[in-house]
Structure 1
Amino acid sequence: MTLTISHTAADGTLIDGTSRGDGSGDVLAAHGWRWFRSIGFWGIRSSRDRAPKVRLIELTAEALRASGFDVEIDIDSTARPTAEVEADRIDRQTARVEALALKAGRRSEQAESAWEAEQRAAAQLPPGGEPIKVGHHSEGRHRRALKKVHQRLGQAVAAEGNAEEARRRAEATAVTTAARYSPVTVKNRIDKMHAEQRADQRELDGHERTLFVVRGVKLIEKFPPAEGTYRQALITRIAERADQITYWEGIRAQQIASGQANNFGPDTIAKGDLVRCSGVWYSVVRVNKKSVTVPARIGGDWTDTIPYHKLAGHRQAKEAETASASSSSIKEVRS
């Protein structure tokens, strides 16, 4: 029997050719593979649009061959354009939201039916909370009715819990895409990717760092340019990330143009202006390259910094003086 382990950006890492009871499932589960019921394949979780886990694939293939299987490996490491990846992600997320909403609806109906069953069972009990008449011919019937009520109550409570969990998951999933594309998150992502890009470029080109200075003499540690397969991996990663940066910077430009995100910076804000963050206005103490310095946000004699992209409002000093110079919501620097 021949099994094929394949990897593509669109599908992730999957294995084809397995069947129920052939013994491959035990080997795959032991190596961290997961059965994806929706598509009917074993695969590696979160492998879509990621670099293939070559070592894990090779170890899995070796274990399967030791168990008597013929195994072929087909790896395509080509990355998809970021725009395509994000469109695919949104489509999958939308489908998941719809599926969870339907599931929540079914669970709510089941909970309602369970409570109705509990009410019907309770209606079979003697009226007025009559106690069990020990030794009477009705004792058995009374005990069975009480047991049925307890069972139905437990089922109703469990069904209500399942319905609430389904509603919670549906609501949480519904806001995932919006949270991923929130202006602050987008800017944080761009900044992080630029930092990663600079770090990889240093590895690629080679760099040096000063370990310490003693009496004016520097001890410098030098790192040569990357070579071999590691160099090629860096080149590939830098190219893929450059495409991602281009995509997310385009999203941010759209958000700025539509007014969803601000475009504040050292050329638009000056010392003495007011800026708003988390619903509070602060007086600007100093303007920095990537942030503004404001009085302590929780009270105190120190100062805090707020990145420009986290600001939600700006007033020039003259406007602030005429509008709300004495407002208690504006935090002034303590003299």
Structure 2
Amino acid sequence: MASPEQCAIEEPEADSQAPAYLGTATYSPEDNKLRFYPFARLSKEDYQRAKDAGFSWAPRQELFVAPMWTPARENLMLKWCGEVGDEDRTLMERAEDRADRFDGYSERRSQEADAARARVKSISDGIPFGQPILVGHHSERRARKDAQRIEDGIRRAVKLWDTSEYWERRAAAAKQHAQYKERPDVRHRRIKGIESDLRKARKNEAEAEELGRLWAAEDLDLERAQTLAHRGYFSVKESGQQWGTSAYTLLTRTDNPWSVEALAATAIRLYARNLAHARRWIAHYENRLAYERAMLAEDGGLAADRFDIQPGGQVQVRGEWLNVIRVNRKEGRIVSVTTDSRYVRVKGIEEVRDYKPPSAEQAAAVRSVTKKPPLANYPHPGAVEMTQAEWKGTHADYKGTREAGQGARQAGFFRPELQGRDELQEHGRHRVRTVVKGGALVSVFLTDAKIVQPPQAAEAQEAAG
């Protein structure tokens, strides 16, 4: 989704009168595409405008199609058509029409190939088998032309047969693609993608709402305005300029700087537009989610919805049975499972085809293995001393936890090991905070946090026994 914040502010041109409608427009939630059916041939200016908006002409269907819905494209359709209706034809119906066209292409290419082969045969039938070209004879010129026509004809026939097979494969692929998009696992992955886009749109909405409120504050001064201009970048296209000027530059330049009030008024209008823009995306994503979830439920849902997956059980993914180590949930729903797969351990719930529940012993064994040891915080050799503020300020990619002490499990999966791990073997199994320092992973002691001693080795041995 392109954010209007990245574009210069430019007031839209007001139309003096509403134009006559140019056609009808439809939207299909199946493929998230807008389609425009013109009443007549578009003018050069309208065609260029449709092309600039992302529409492309489909000559066989006699319509313009956009690869996805956007507010700008919908605005154009509302202006040209008055409303955007629902697409009457389903994805499978369009795929069948496309397959029929491809079958027609394949049949015509096959007929042309047979005709080319027949012409070659008619030439070769007039030449006795094994007859050489008689050099110097009056028939040499015609014989060489016949040989060239035979070679060209064979090449053309082979090329046409290849083209016929190509269109035959395209026809089969058109139906397979439509069937693939309707599969429950593919639809579930599409739902997860839409949910991710919805979260981003809501984040944009919250940011636009907050920045608009801050710019509208009554006690806004120059210093706070400069801070806001840094935080939420936008540019203003002034009269006679080709490019926009950043808000911070407008406030700080020595030649004709803008006042805080003037820039605040512009920023308020911008973030009001951004807020409306984000809310249109939110409404669009919510409608798509409602449609996709309804279709998924109508198709019977996922195969994994029939199972109560628990750690210790086994799931079948792509024909392979894997042990479930952890069940990952979001908003109460299972989204993935962590398995003992050799390479990709986390499997999406849509990949699960079958399930075997665990026995009581298997479930207990998994719980004992996956249970995290206590997190300790104590001074020890090799530990880096940090404050809680320094720890929170460290980027998440450079900090974490590792197991240490007797019975500690190795990180595995090419993850770096803790430096000085052997020196902590006198304690029982526990976890310590870690950071990356000097290219090595070292343990951390928070000096201003509560000291938490690790369990004793003897206690760990008794517990294990």
Question: TM-score of the superposition, structure 2-length normalised?
Answer: 0.50
1:312 alignment partner, SS class = strand
Residue of structure 2 equivalent to 1:246: 290
- Give the match for residue 286 of structure 1: 326
Provide the rounded CA distance (Å) in 1 between the counterparts of 2:72 and 2:175.
29
The counterpart of 1:256, out of the listed 276, 297, 300, is 300
1-side partners of 2:72 and 2:151: how far apart? 53
Count of paired positions = 279
Contact 1:118 1:156 in 2 (8 A): no
**Partner SS for 1:284:** strand
Paired amino acid for 1:12:
R
Matched residue, 2:341: 296
Q: 1:320 to 1:49 in 2, by over 3 A?
A: farther
Greater Rg over alpha carbons, structure? 2
Secondary structure in 1 aligned to 2:345?
A: strand
8 A Cα contact 1:197 1:238, kept in partner: yes
Task: Tell me which amino acid in the other structure corresponds to 1:293.
Answer: T
- Give yes or no for contact 1:272–1:285 (8 Å, CA) kept in 2: yes
Give the C-alpha shift of residue 87 in structure 1.
Answer: 4.5
Q: Distance in 2 between matches of 1:264 and 1:167?
A: 39
Q: CA deviation at 1:24?
A: 6.4
SS of 2:304 mapped into structure 1: coil
Q: Where does 1:1-335 land on structure 2 (aligned, <5 Å)?
A: 8-10=25-27, 12-13=35-36, 18=41, 34-38=56-60, 43=64, 45-46=65-66, 50-53=70-73, 74=80, 76=82, 78=84, 80=85, 84-85=86-87, 87-128=89-130, 130-206=131-207, 227-256=271-300, 261-263=303-305, 268-289=308-329, 290-298=335-343, 304-318=345-359
Instruction: Give 1:35 deviation, angstroms.
Output: 4.7
Q: Does the CA-based 8 Å contact 2:311-2:325 persist in structure 1?
A: yes
1:147 offset after TM fit, Å?
1.7
For residue 275 of structure 1, give the secondary structure of its aligned residue in structure 2.
strand
CA distance in 2, matches of 1:263, 1:30: 44
CA distance in structure 2 between the partners assigned to 1:103 and 1:162 by the alignment? 9
SS state at 1:165 partner: helix
- Cα-to-partner distance string for 1:252-309 (whole Å, 9 max, x where unaligned): 112336xx633167xx1222211111111112222222322212334xxxx7111222
**Pairwise CA RMSD:** 4.1
Report the more deviating stretch, 116-125 or 306-315: 116-125
Q: Secondary structure, in 3 states, of the residue corresponding to 1:285?
A: strand
Inter-CA distance 124–4: structure 2 relative to 1 (3 Å threshold): farther
Verify the 8 A CA contact 1:9 1:76 in the aligned structure 2.
no
What CA distance in whole angstroms lies between the structure 2 residues aligned with 1:241 and 1:279?
34
Query: Shift of residue 159 of structure 1?
Result: 0.9
Q: Cα deviations across residues 177-213 of structure 1 (Å, max 9, x unaligned)?
A: 11111121100111111222222223223499xxxxx
| 1:318 positional shift | 4.0
- Aligned with 1:137: secondary structure? coil
Compare 114-123 and 178-187 and name the one that shifted more: 114-123
Question: Any unmatched runs of 5+ in structure 1?
Answer: 58-72, 209-220, 322-333
Aligned partners of 2:141, 2:194: CA distance in 1, in Å? 72
- Deviation of residue 173 (structure 1)? 0.8
Counterpart contact for 2:326–2:339, Cα < 8 Å: yes
Indicate the residue corresponding to 1:60 in structure 2.
none
* Aligned partner of residue 175 in structure 1, secondary structure: helix
CA distance in 2, matches of 1:316, 1:182: 26
- 1:84-111 per-residue CA deviation (whole Å, 9 max, x = no partner) reads 4484433322211222122222222322
- Report the secondary structure of 1:135's partner residue: coil
Question: CA contact under 8 A between 1:18 and 1:24: conserved in structure 2?
Answer: no
